[in-house]
């Protein structure tokens, strides 16, 4: 629980870093790329429909691998962590630094059985593939994937055209519907993104990643009630998503923006704190979660505890978008704490 202890940092209250936008899905079109392939270590077969998370300077984003096990992120220059959490397999994580002179990074990930599953799925450990997808629909999907690799706005728009054709040819094309929704998110076309993600959920009510993306869509539009429900519905399916718990924490955090009465901002702040703790319990190296936790602690004037979280954020993401602001705040807190000592 967040308890009100420590001294009051009156002089630095305006320095609180608004990190809610930091950990939003990447919305700007950038030239940098992170690409890769996910395969099952035992069989070498491509891992289809595996959620891959990208967390770093440009924000948090998620993509599902295609039927060839491939994934692709458009990012801005900076530091990133690409990781996979998939029940039944060991967690995999890769750290990447993209400088201004680097246009892309390629990541090869092999999923290794963690020994928790009593039985293994047939067909070389690959999830069931929808064999009803027409060849023309697959062709349009592949064209959409190819268009995405350019990373420019016009290429994103081209990709949506191919995905739209794919789902017109086969409305139950789960992967195409999901990719259509996330690409519309990149274009900040929220209404279209919502429709595509809602259709994804109609096709597969257990598609937790679609719920999580939908929650992000609502959050970006400040529709907090709908965002909260979408995230909770997704977490009811996949409880061990650190990113989803963090997004839910952001929702509660943003609710208190501009609220002056403590009786009104305290309850959502408590919820935010519990969710960010859960996020860090699942992934202690999630830099954005440490930043948000630091902000939450700073809000209730737990300066020393906040300082620890800010320093941990800087350790994990020293080149992050908010690194300079965080360092300045860290120095102010240290000076204030030193001034309080007898």
CATH of the domain at 281: 1.25.40.10
Last residue of some domain: 97, 129, 161? 129
Whether 204 contacts 165, CB under 8 Å: no
pLDDT (mean) for 301-319: 92
- Whether residue 69 is contained in a domain is answered as yes
- Whether residue 310 is contained in a domain is answered as yes
Summary mean pLDDT of the chain: 82
Report which of residues 181 and 61 the model is more confident about. Answer: 181
Q: What is the dihedral of CA 26, 27, 32, 35, to 10 degrees?
A: 50
Instruction: Kindly state the helix (H) or strand (E) to which residue 13 belongs, with its residue range.
Output: none
pLDDT band at 86 (very low <50, low <70, confident <90, very high): confident
pLDDT of 73 strictly over 60: yes
pLDDT of 22 strictly over 70: no
Q: What is the pLDDT of residue 264?
A: 86
Whether 55 contacts 173, CB under 8 Å: no
- Whether residue 212 is contained in a domain is answered as no
Tell me the β-bridge partners of 98: 78
What is the C-alpha separation between 76 and 185, in angstroms, rounded? 16
Last residue of some domain: 76, 110, 129? 129
- Whether residue 107 is contained in a domain is answered as yes
Instruction: Kindly state the helix (H) or strand (E) to which residue 144 belongs, with its residue range.
Output: helix 135-148
Express as a percent the part of the chain with pLDDT over 70: 83
Tokens of 263: 């009786």
**Domains in the chain, number:** 2
Q: What is the pLDDT of residue 139?
A: 94
Positive or negative, the Cα torsion across 87, 91, 95, 96?
Answer: negative
pLDDT of 109 strictly over 50: yes
- Whether residue 208 is contained in a domain is answered as no
pLDDT (mean) for 108-135: 65
The whole domain housing 37 covers: 25-129
Q: What is the pLDDT of residue 119?
A: 43
Whole-model pTM: value is 0.74
- Give me the residue label for tokens 């702040």: 269
Least confident of 70-74, 126-130, 172-176, 292-296: 126-130
Nearest-CA neighbor of 222 among 246, 256, 192?
256
- What pLDDT digit, counting tens, does each position of 41-57 carry? 877 778 877 888 887 76
Overall residue count recorded for the chain in this entry: 342
- Whether residue 57 is contained in a domain is answered as yes
pLDDT (mean) for 313-339: 90
Tokens of 194: 């919502």
Report which of residues 334 and 338 the model is more confident about. Answer: 334
Q: What is the number of other CB atoms lying within 10 angstroms of the CB of residue 281?
A: 12
What are the CB-based long-range contacts (under 8 Å, 24+) for 297-301?
Answer: 297/2, 298/9, 298/16, 299/16, 299/256, 299/269, 300/2, 300/3, 300/4, 300/269, 301/4, 301/5, 301/6, 301/7, 301/8, 301/9
pLDDT (mean) for 251-256: 92
CATH number for the domain including 40? 2.60.40.1120
Report which of residues 140 and 11 the model is more confident about. Answer: 140
Last residue of some domain: 87, 104, 129? 129
Q: What is the pLDDT of residue 93?
A: 87
Q: What is the pLDDT of residue 150?
A: 64
- Whether residue 252 is contained in a domain is answered as yes
What is the C-alpha separation between 265 and 258, in angstroms, rounded? 9
- Whether residue 298 is contained in a domain is answered as yes
């Amino acid at each position: 629980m967040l308890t009100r202890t420590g001294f009051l940092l009156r002089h630095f209250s305006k320095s609180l870093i608004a990190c809610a936008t930091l950990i939003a899905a990447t919305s700007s079109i950038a030239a940098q790329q992170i690409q890769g392939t996910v395969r099952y270590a035992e069989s070498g077969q491509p891992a289809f429909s595996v959620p891959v998370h990208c967390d770093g300077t440009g924000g948090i984003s998620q993509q599902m691998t295609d039927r060839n096990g491939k994934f692709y992120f458009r990012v801005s220059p900076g530091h990133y962590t690409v990781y996979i959490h998939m029940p039944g397999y060991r967690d995999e994580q890769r750290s990447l630094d993209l400088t201004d002179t680097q246009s892309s990074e390629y990541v090869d990930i092999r999923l290794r059985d963690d020994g928790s599953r009593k039985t293994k799925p047939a067909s070389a450990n690959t999830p069931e593939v929808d064999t009803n997808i027409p060849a023309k629909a697959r062709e349009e999907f592949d064209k959409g994937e190819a268009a995405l690799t350019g990373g420019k706005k016009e290429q994103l728009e081209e990709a949506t055209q191919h995905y739209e054709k794919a789902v017109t040819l086969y409305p139950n094309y789960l992967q195409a519907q999901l990719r259509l929704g996330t690409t519309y998110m990149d274009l900040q076309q929220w209404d279209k993104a919502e429709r595509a993600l809602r259709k994804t959920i109609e096709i597969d009510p257990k598609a937790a990643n679609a719920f999580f993306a939908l929650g992000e869509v609502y959050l970006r539009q400040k529709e907090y009630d709908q965002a909260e429900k979408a995230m909770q519905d997704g977490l009811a399916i996949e409880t061990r998503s650190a990113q989803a718990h963090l997004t839910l924490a952001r929702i509660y955090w943003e609710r208190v923006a501009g609220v002056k009465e403590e009786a009104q901002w305290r309850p959502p702040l408590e919820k935010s704190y519990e969710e960010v703790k859960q996020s860090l319990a699942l992934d202690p190296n999630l830099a954005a979660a440490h930043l948000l936790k630091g902000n939450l602690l700073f809000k209730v004037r737990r300066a020393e505890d906040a300082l620890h979280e800010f320093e941990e954020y800087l350790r994990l993401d020293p080149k992050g978008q908010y690194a300079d602001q965080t360092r300045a705040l860290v120095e102010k807190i240290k000076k204030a704490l030193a001034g309080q000592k007898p």
